Amino acid sequence: MGTNENNFSTIADKIIREIICECYEDGQESQKILNYLNRENIMPQEIYDWLLNQHDSKYINLLGSFYRLGIGTNKNKKKAFEAFQRAANLGSNSAKSALGVCYQLGFGTNKDYNKAIELFKKLADEEYSEGINSLGVCYLNGTGTSIDKKKAFELFQKASNLGNYGSKCWLGLCYQFGYGVKRDHNKAFELCKESAEGECPDGIKRLGRCYLNGIGTSIDNKKAFDLFQRAANLGNYESKYLLGLCYQYGHGVEMDHNKAFEFYKESAEGEWSDGIDHLGSCYLIGIGTSIDKKKAFDLFQRAANLGNSEAQYNLACMYEIGDGVMKDTKQASYWYNKSAEQGNEYARNKLESLYLNSTRCSQS
């Protein structure tokens, strides 16, 4: 088809309105954009080239997303960050939100929690729900500020009232664990259900966890499995890990170690630390694959470096007995300590055992 300026702006507007705004962080943006462009008989590079010459903040912000996703060009974190910055300087709230996330994660720039929270605070002042939600996460986790669970809860509630389905999921989490509010599993379940109805992948996943663990509802492993599958199809990497658990242990589906291995592998590809850790366990004891101690060690190390307590413990065990790596009690103690600092009781017991053994050796 002959594509003119108006055609490109119409196409770009539809991508912004129906894909970017609806699918942010669900892992499906790239494929949905490519499918849409294919239906319109437009090459990805054509729309990318058009975006390069646009001066409207919404199109510059979309250019940043193209760099982030690698559409019509190679993935480029630095260029994505620069495009978000340009669009933010022109007043785009969506770009300011993306810029805050870049500072928070160190995406295309150095990590700067202060700049991230400053941007989120400005967005919250403007009643921009995604900024309010992100600010709530900062207060919940103590990112760039001190932990304030009450404030986090209030911000999630405010964003939820503005129709943010991700915030409904966070509110559910607050009610489940009593973060800034009295624990109420029934409310947690209802909020996760509302979030899932808005097709929020995290909400769908958390609703699945409610059915799996009987939070505010009766246990229903089949419903849990179906919800994890639905969220995984939307690109949620934690759900792929949870599907792996379902297949490994037969929760709501027939046990299948080969499928468990494949889902752990997919989760690990998304850098989900529990997925990486469980993939390591598959290689360690041969679940859905042949035993490979070296691969197991490398995966445990990768997840441990991401702060995963179980992986830190598993890595320490391998160092302690020299399994898949040269025996090194100093490294074992280091990783047991890292795991114990996160509350792992098994790691604490191992540390005490190592200390007692070293004391006996020094006295003999």
**Is residue 185 domain-shared with residue 305, that is, in the same domain?**
no
Q: 199 and 19 in contact (C-beta within 8 Å)?
A: no
User: Do the domain assignments include residue 175?
Assistant: yes
Give the pair of three-digit tokens for residue 35.
Answer: 């499918």
One-letter amino acid at 81 equals F
User: Do the domain assignments include residue 43?
Assistant: yes
User: Do the domain assignments include residue 254?
Assistant: yes
pLDDT tens-digit map of 46-74: 999 999 999 999 999 999 999 999 999 99
**Is residue 105 domain-shared with residue 9, that is, in the same domain?**
yes
The CA distance from 130 to 133, in Å, is 5
User: Do the domain assignments include residue 229?
Assistant: no
Distances (CA, A) of 12 to 20, 36, 66, 72: 10, 11, 11, 13
Q: Which of 273, 258, 357 is nearest to 315 (CA)?
A: 273
pLDDT at position 150: 97
Which residues are CB-neighbours of 278 under 8 A, at least 6 positions away? 241, 244, 245, 248, 264, 267
Boundary (domain end) residue, out of 187, 221, 255: 221
**Is residue 19 domain-shared with residue 121, that is, in the same domain?**
no
The CA distance from 102 to 78, in Å, is 10
pLDDT at position 158: 96
Boundary (domain end) residue, out of 111, 140, 164: 111
**Is residue 80 domain-shared with residue 128, that is, in the same domain?**
no
pLDDT at position 193: 97
**CATH number for 89:** 1.25.40.10
Distances (CA, A) of 160 to 54, 125, 150, 190: 34, 15, 15, 13
User: Do the domain assignments include residue 226?
Assistant: no
**Is residue 1 domain-shared with residue 105, that is, in the same domain?**
yes
Q: Residue 240, by phi and psi: left (phi above 0), alpha (psi -120 to 50) or beta?
A: alpha
**Is residue 194 domain-shared with residue 153, that is, in the same domain?**
yes
**Is residue 106 domain-shared with residue 133, that is, in the same domain?**
no
pLDDT at position 1: 40
218 alpha carbon, distance to own chain's centre: 27
User: Do the domain assignments include residue 230?
Assistant: no
The CA distance from 165 to 192, in Å, is 9
**Is residue 364 domain-shared with residue 246, that is, in the same domain?**
yes
Domain holding 293, by residue range, is 236-364
**Is residue 293 domain-shared with residue 308, that is, in the same domain?**
yes
Q: How many domains does the chain have?
A: 3
Boundary (domain end) residue, out of 54, 79, 111: 111
DSSP string computed for 149-190: HHHHHHHHHHHHHTT-HHHHHHHHHHHHHTSSS---HHHHHH
Stretches in the chain below the pLDDT threshold 70:
1-6, 21-28, 357-364
The C-alpha angle with vertex 69 and arms to 65 and 75, in degrees rounded to 5, equals 105
Give the pair of three-digit tokens for residue 321.
Answer: 């007995």
Q: Which of 94, 12, 96 is nearest to 49 (CA)?
A: 12
pLDDT tens-digit map of 159-181: 999 999 999 999 999 999 999 99
